[in-house]
Chains A and B, each alone.
Chain A
Amino acid sequence: MNTILEVKGVSKSFPVKGSFGKSKGAVSAVSDVSFSLKERGTLGIVGESGCGKSTLARLLLRLIEPDEGEVLYRDQDILTLKGRKLNQIKRKIQMVFQNPYSSINPKMTIENNVAFSLWTNGVSKKEARKKANDYLEAVGLPRSYAHRYPQSLSGGQRQRVAIARALVLEPEIIIADEAVSALDKSIQGQVLNLFQDLKKDFNLSLLFISHDLNVVEYMSDEVMVMYLGKVVEKGSAQHIYSNARHPYTKALLNSEPSMKVGVSNLDKHQLIKGELPSPLNPPSGCRFRTRCPHATAQCGNAQLPTIEVNTGHHVACHLWDMGTGSLSQNKQSDVLPI
């Protein structure tokens, strides 16, 4: 499979200004993130809130300008593009936002919300509306909804509208930024399946951002785990979920509540200690070391190795070798003592 989107060393930090405009430092939101998205593949990005997932999505769309790095769409760096050329490529990458109550204009009808993307790109209004209706149907909304206003729609229906709006420009990549987090569990399933169907029907590549490990496992071929703006581990979903190497990934997987009835998994929980450190002065070296149960003095070194433990499975931890074997094995209790 070809690579459709390749991201190389993208970083973004936001300066923090104190009183009188004096710089108080910078919040490192995304730091040296690299990954590639395969054509028609799905890459899941996981991490706790505040780890830079959403900032990363906005960097790819150039809603925020990155400080450094390259974003290659079909081998073309979109960060250097300007004007019309940029707009042409922007259309190829569309985003579905987190909050369906904020991502749709309440003062426009459903149809116009979707058609806007087209007519603002020079399509006649009549044609744009016709196409909008086709896509509303494709996401499973009855035609009769077209002339209604968003306030009479449920969260799931609104998210369908948002998906239709993303699709109407005929993109090749859809970035779903926590696209199901705001929805009820029952609706989440429907929307996830919708994503799967649309991906097949429209040959889409999907960048699926979520904090929900189950959702990401269900959706993704490949998974990337982020912590405090940095990639800690990435690889195929199978590798990550069955053979996680980074202590953070392991802890994250362990903190997921068990769905098994009658099995108390409380003692198995290796909850991550402490709070997420402030991104205003992130720890040197491995950013997870302040909360890592295995941290050694070496972890503070600026040069953090990224090791390929398996084909395509990278981990940013020099202790990757410790406690080999999947998490389901008993050995994990040695790895992460309570």
Chain B
Amino acid sequence: MLNESELTNPSLLSNEIKEDSLLKKVWLEFYKNRIAFIALIVLGIVVLSCLLAPLIAPFGPLDGEITDRLLPLGSTGHILGTDEQGRDMLTRVLYGGRLSLYAGFLPVVISIVIGGALGVIAGYFGRILNTIIMRTLDIFYSFPAILLAIGISAALGQGINNIVISISIIFIPPVARVAESAVKGVREEEFIEAAKSSGAQSISIIRYHVIKNIFAKVFVYGTTQISISLVLASGLSFLGLGVSPPTPEWGIMLNNLKGQIFINPLVTIIPGLFIFITALTINLVADGLRDALEINS
């Protein structure tokens, strides 16, 4: 059985065929994309320093000397200046970033899990289940997303977790749509039929055949949502729907400092600058990731 031409090629017969894992291939492709790679480094520095805020921040987030209020950039001891109550801006930005990043990432994770599951169920089983799930989710499209987020947050009350819940809710329908259309494409493939004819249960077909094939699409879509979520969360906080005052968070810091914009403009825009840099680098990384995944699939 082995004497066939396609198997006599010595390079194919050698036992030294090692294929890079998919993850490694994606990484190599991503690494080639300079801009995305630099963005990843910047994003990594921001995220890491926010996470390590208690270790690296020079002051406590709530400690303020009223005599030191509104110091400009580059003041001794306060490299990014101080806010209207004399609290160190660098410290507050680092501590604030923890909540802002939390509200940026978590809704995306939640919406991928819930929206992805709904989309997979709707796409795989089709028919009546599809109609029920997808048409219900369509209701959310009839409201402008930001208005819906404000409405849900207002109804649930103040608090960062309520912001996470409201953003998760508005993110679920688009994720479900992306997942559903991806599943519909995979469902027609012959390997699904082959799995069915081997007597496999739907649950294991979904786990091994469907999810593996749609994950990249949903994941890439999710990464582009992170920056939107971050901006949205900061926006809701700015409107006073997030954390309550002394707690630092980028959105509410912007709100607190907006009165001082003519006194010390460079200091007041620092939280905004961090929102901007984080959202931008996330988008660049997401783009790079999408390209790397597309080449490898």
Contacts and interface: CB of A to CB of B under 8 A. Distances in A.
Contacts of A156: 6
B258 interface: no
B13 interface: yes
Given A99-B190, A108-B208, A120-B204, A140 B4 contact: yes
Contact of A162 (B5, B189, B194): B194
Contact of A94 (B17, B197, B213): B197
A104 B297 CA distance: 14
B208 A116 contact: yes
A117 B12 CA distance: 27
A294 interface: no
Nearest to B16: A144
A120 B190 contact: no
- Chain B CB within 10 Å, residue with most, of A63, A93, A107, A142: A107
Given A102-B190, A104-B191, A120-B200, A142 B13 contact: yes
Contact of A108 (B193, B204, B212): B212
Nearest to A98: B190
Given A142-B12, A149-B19, A90 B199 contact: yes
A2 interface: no
B53 to A, nearest CB: 39
B2 interface: yes
Nearest to B186: A105
A120 to B, nearest CB: 4
Contacts of B205: 120
Interface in B223-280: none
B35 interface: no
B191 A102 contact: yes
A91 B4 CA distance: 30
Interface residues of B, number: 33
A79 to B, nearest CB: 15
A140 B16 CA distance: 18
Contacts of B200: 116-117, 120-121
B185 to A, nearest CB: 11
Given A98-B190, A190-B4, A91 B212 contact: no
B120 to A, nearest CB: 15
B199 A87 contact: yes
Nearest to B5: A186
Nearest to B215: A107
Contact of A105 (B19, B22, B209): B209
Interface in A153-184: 154, 156-157, 162, 165-166, 169
Contacts of A186: 5
A166 B198 CA distance: 8
B23 interface: no
A283 B13 CA distance: 55
Interface string B16-42: 110100100000000000000000000
A107 B213 contact: yes
A145 B209 CA distance: 20
A108 B189 CA distance: 14
Given A105-B212, A108-B208, A187-B6, A90 B194 contact: no
A304 interface: no
Contacts of B208: 105, 108, 112, 116, 120
B19 A58 contact: no
B173 to A, nearest CB: 25
A148 B17 contact: yes
26 contacts: A63-B196, A87-B199, A88-B199, A91-B198, A97-B190, A98-B190, A102-B190, A103-B191, A103-B193, A105-B213, A106-B213, A116-B200, A117-B194, A117-B195, A117-B200, A120-B198, A138-B1, A139-B1, A143-B15, A144-B17, A145-B17, A148-B19, A149-B19, A157-B6, A186-B5, A190-B5
Q: Which 9 A-B pairs have the closest CB atoms?
A: A87-B199, A117-B198, A103-B190, A120-B200, A107-B212, A97-B190, A140-B1, A102-B190, A90-B199
Interface of A: 58, 61, 63, 86-88, 90-91, 93-95, 97-99, 102-108, 112-113, 116-117, 120-121, 138-140, 142-145, 147-149, 152, 154, 156-157, 162, 165-166, 169, 186-187, 190, 194, 197
